[in-house]
């Protein structure tokens, strides 16, 4: 008996639930519930929902370096926008929707306080000013959109706020911070390049200096300024001596026509001829010899050192030119955010779309109620 009494409320609850879920009851109540929901939706969208103003700006990324702006691919010809600009604008879009950008906006405009204002309706505002950063970022994404038009290559920035000035301030800050981010990104790359070039210039300068020192050390070791010039001078002297030798032999042959070989004049010529021949052999020995350590070897070594020094000097000049170009690139604006449409100052709250939302909710509620009514009718027919 006691168990029956304990089970009595449970039984009554089950019977009440069965009556609520009964097909006939569902058919009578479903449209009533739908009507109440529609009425509440109309009250909310028409009266309770807070106005939200929408500000919009349209921007493109412009490059100031001509080489990059001229380069275009097939996709850019088809889409009507430069391929490099497309990548830059997608990068800018990602940054504008990032957590870092949200933190800058919050620090500058106090977005948390604006979006969590208790004077706004509970359903559209952020519930608490101290919500976690992840939830705040999700709410920010629901109120801010950055869309890229693939055909025209234009980035469309929109922001919603409960105040027209706040909406305009959000979009203006996004445009300004976006341009600063793109320039800073380009400048950071240029600074890294300049730093790399400075190291290369320092190394190339040391190498060029060392090569010149090697040339000087070799000149001091050999005791001559230019072995090649010395070799050329010796070759000129050899040519002159060979000319003199030819002349003396010609004179000797002519004098033998009327003098004997033992004549003093012929003997003097023989002495001169022998001396010149010995001198020619000595000078030729200085230029080249099978034993090595001759002037031609010195010329080869000197030319090799001179070429290495010249090459190091040319590389050093090239590195200096690249460094100066890199410094110029680091100082000037590499990428500029061109504003096609400045951030608008909204005068009428475009959000929420009250009539549209009411119409959609009414249609959805009636369709859902009709489906439930149809299911209840089918169940009743099967029960009968």
Q: Tens digit of pLDDT for each residue in 75-94? A: 444 444 444 478 888 888 99
Which tokens in the block code for residue 337?
């955010």
**Does the residue 173 lie in any domain?**
yes
pLDDT in tens, 259-287: 777 777 777 877 788 887 777 777 666 66
- Does the pLDDT at position 358 exceed 80? yes
What pLDDT score was predicted for residue 22? 47
| Domain count along the chain | 3
In the structure, what pLDDT confidence band is assigned to residue 138 with cuts at 50, 70 and 90? Answer: very high
Domain that holds residue 261: 197-331
Same domain? 252 vs 155: no
What pLDDT score was predicted for residue 69? 44
**Range from 45-49, 77-81, 310-314, 370-374 carrying the lowest mean pLDDT:** 77-81
**Does the residue 30 lie in any domain?**
yes
Same domain? 206 vs 325: yes
Nearest to 32 by CA among 376, 305, 373: 373
- Rounded percentage of the chain residues whose pLDDT exceeds 90: 15
Question: pLDDT: is 101 or 307 the higher one?
Answer: 101
Q: Evaluate whether 285 touches 294 at the Cβ level (below 8 Å).
A: yes
Same domain? 180 vs 115: yes
pLDDT in tens, 170-228: 999 999 888 888 877 776 777 777 777 778 778 887 887 888 887 777 767 766 666 66
Same domain? 227 vs 269: yes
In the structure, what pLDDT confidence band is assigned to residue 74 with cuts at 50, 70 and 90? Answer: very low
**Does the residue 131 lie in any domain?**
yes
CATH number of the domain residue 122 falls in: 3.30.70.1130
DSSP H helices, the chain, are 2-21, 23-43, 66-70, 74-79, 83-96, 99-109, 111-115, 133-143, 164-222, 227-255, 264-287, 295-331, 354-383
Q: What is the CA radius of gyration of the chain?
A: 48
Same domain? 261 vs 150: no
pTM score, whole prediction: 0.60
Residues paired with residue 62 on neighbouring β-strands, in sequence order: 336
String of DSSP letters for 299-340: HHHHHHHHHHHHHHHHHHHHHHHHHHHHHHHHHS--EEEEEE
Same domain? 271 vs 364: no
Same domain? 304 vs 237: yes
Same domain? 281 vs 223: yes
**Distance between CA atoms of 45 and 38, rounded to whole angstroms?**
10
Nearest to 55 by CA among 189, 140, 162, 176: 162
Question: pLDDT: is 73 or 382 the higher one?
Answer: 382
Which tokens in the block code for residue 102?
């949200």
């Amino acid at each position: 008996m006691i168990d029956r009494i304990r089970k009595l409320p449970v039984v009554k609850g089950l019977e009440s639930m069965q009556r609520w879920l009964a097909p006939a009851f569902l058919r009578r109540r479903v449209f009533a519930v739908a009507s109440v929901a529609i009425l509440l939706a109309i009250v909310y969208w028409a009266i309770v929902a807070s106005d939200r103003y929408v500000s919009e700006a349209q921007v493109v990324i412009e490059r100031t370096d001509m080489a990059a702006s001229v380069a275009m691919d097939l996709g850019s010809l088809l889409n009507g926008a430069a391929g490099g600009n497309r990548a830059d604008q997608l990068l800018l879009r990602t940054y504008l929707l990032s957590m870092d950008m949200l933190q800058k906006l919050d620090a500058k405009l106090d977005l948390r306080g604006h979006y969590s204002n208790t004077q706004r309706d509970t359903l559209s505002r952020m519930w608490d000013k101290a919500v976690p950063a992840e939830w705040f970022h999700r709410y920010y994404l629901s109120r801010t959109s950055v869309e890229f038009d693939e055909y025209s290559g234009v980035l469309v920035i929109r922001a919603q706020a409960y105040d027209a000035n706040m909406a305009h301030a959000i979009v203006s800050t996004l445009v300004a911070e976006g341009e600063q981010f793109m320039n800073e990104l380009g400048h950071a790359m240029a600074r890294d390049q300049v730093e790399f070039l400075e190291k290369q210039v320092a190394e190339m300068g040391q190498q060029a200096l060392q090569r010149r020192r090697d040339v000087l050390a070799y000149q001091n070791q050999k005791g001559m300024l230019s072995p090649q010039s010395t070799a050329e001078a010796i070759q000129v002297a050899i040519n002159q001596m060979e000319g003199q030798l030819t002349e003396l032999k010609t004179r000797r042959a002519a004098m033998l026509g009327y003098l004997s070989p033992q004549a003093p004049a012929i003997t003097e010529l023989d002495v001169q001829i022998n001396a010149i021949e010995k001198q020619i052999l000595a000078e030729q020995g200085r230029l080249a010899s099978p034993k090595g350590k001759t002037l031609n070897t010195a010329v080869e070594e000197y030319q090799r050192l001179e070429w290495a020094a010249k090459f190091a000097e040319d590389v050093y000049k090239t590195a200096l030119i690249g460094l100066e170009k890199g410094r110029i690139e680091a100082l000037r604006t590499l990428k500029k955010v061109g504003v096609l449409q400045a951030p608008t100052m909204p005068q009428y709250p475009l959000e929420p779309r009250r009539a549209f939302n009411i119409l959609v909710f009414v249609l959805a509620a009636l369709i859902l109620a009709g489906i439930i009514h149809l299911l209840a009718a089918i169940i009743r027919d099967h029960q009968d």
